[in-house]
Amino acid sequence: MAWVNYHSHSLYCDGKAFPEDYVNQAVEKGFPAWGYSSHAPVPFASMWNMPSEKLPEYLEELTRIKSDYSGKIQVYKGLEIDYIEGLWGSRQSGLINLPIDFTIGSVHYIGQLPDGSHFCFDGQPEGFFKGIELLYQNDFRKAITTYYQAEMRMAEVDNPDIIGHMDKIKMHNAFRPYLNEEEKWYVSLVEETLEVIRQKGNMVEVNTRGLYKHMPPLLYPGKWVLERIHRKKIPILLNSDSHHPDEIDSGFAYAAELLLGIGFQSLRVLIDGKWQDKAFDKNGLLF
């Protein structure tokens, strides 16, 4: 028994190792498939998105790895593509037309700061709270609503294969509470977002990076959101958002037990060139 993972970052973006280091680890662990999904370029300077000039090299290297490891593991080429309302997305940028096998659509940027830079909430807490102050005048409800509205627009306009870490806007809440997930406005906003995702037929990833990198641990999305995903019969897949080869299945056993307890019986996987559902237990997928 083994896992698969389609959300990973290498030295082409903000990962910590070469692409081949990840596939070697996946082969060692008996993964039947492996997917690469570096942060795609954006139209401004960024510390963690892939530079646009590196994109052809990235695709060429993954093609080589796919060929070299044929017979050992199935390798799939993907990108995590930022959706930035009014500015960027897989379709507006043309990235959707690249020779890739899948896309992860994610929202990291929720507005433009007074100095013209784009506000990425996915950083250190101090930067997040400063950005909310400058851009939203500490109106956290407005900022969070902007985030989910962008997710809905992303699903409608870009229609990515996978919705990345859908409730990540909660990530700094333990540092300084700004969100009560039980409030009706927030539950309603999540429900509305999930309904758009259901109608568009996107998959939602269960992203475990917050389990092994965040304190206290976080799963994206959280349990109560996953319960609603289950009721809506939205397909899910398990991803580790790995930035180092040692992380390729981190948090999977915990997440799998939680999903089984909710009632999920299968995970969506990309095998033999098509997305399909496979049963699983806490130790891995059942082929």
- Span 249-279, pLDDT tens digits: 999 999 999 999 999 999 999 999 999 999 9
* pLDDT score of 287: 83
Report the DSSP pairing between strands 284-286 and 274-281.
antiparallel
- Dihedral sign of CA atoms 122, 153, 160, 283 in order: positive
- What is the pTM for the complete model shown? 0.97
**Radius of gyration for the alpha carbons in the chain, expressed in angstroms and rounded:** 18
Contact indicator for 38, 9 with CB cutoff of 8 Å: yes
Contact indicator for 144, 190 with CB cutoff of 8 Å: no
* Residue 214 dihedral angles phi and psi, to the nearest 5°: -110, 150
Mean pLDDT score, 151-168: 98
* Percentage of residues of the chain with pLDDT beyond 90: 99
Q: What is the DSSP string of 99-135?
A: S-SEEEEE--EEEE-TTS-EEE-SS-HHHHHHHHHHH
The domain 19-286 having CATH identifier 3.40.47.40: the answer here is no
The tokens describing 117, both together, are 């830079």
Residue-level length of the chain: 287
- Peptide bond just before 41 cis, omega within 30 deg: no
- Span 13-58, pLDDT tens digits: 999 999 999 999 999 999 999 999 999 999 999 999 999 999 999 9
* pLDDT score of 1: 74
- Span 233-251, pLDDT tens digits: 999 999 999 999 999 999 9
* pLDDT score of 255: 98
Packed helices 140-153 and 184-200: angle between N→C axes, nearest 10 degrees? 10
Mean pLDDT score, 154-182: 97
* pLDDT score of 233: 98
What average pLDDT is seen over the chain? 97
Residue type, 88: W
HSE of 96, CA atoms in CB hemisphere, 13 A: 15
DSSP classification of residue 54: G
What's the pLDDT band for 143 if we cut at 50, 70, 90? very high
C-alpha angle 84-168-85 in degrees, rounded to nearest 5: 10
Is the pLDDT reported for residue 127 higher than 80?
yes
* Residue 161 dihedral angles phi and psi, to the nearest 5°: -60, -45
Helix (H) or strand (E) holding 162: strand 162-163
Instruction: For residues 1 and 131, give the distance between their C-alpha atoms in angstroms, rounded to a whole number.
Output: 44
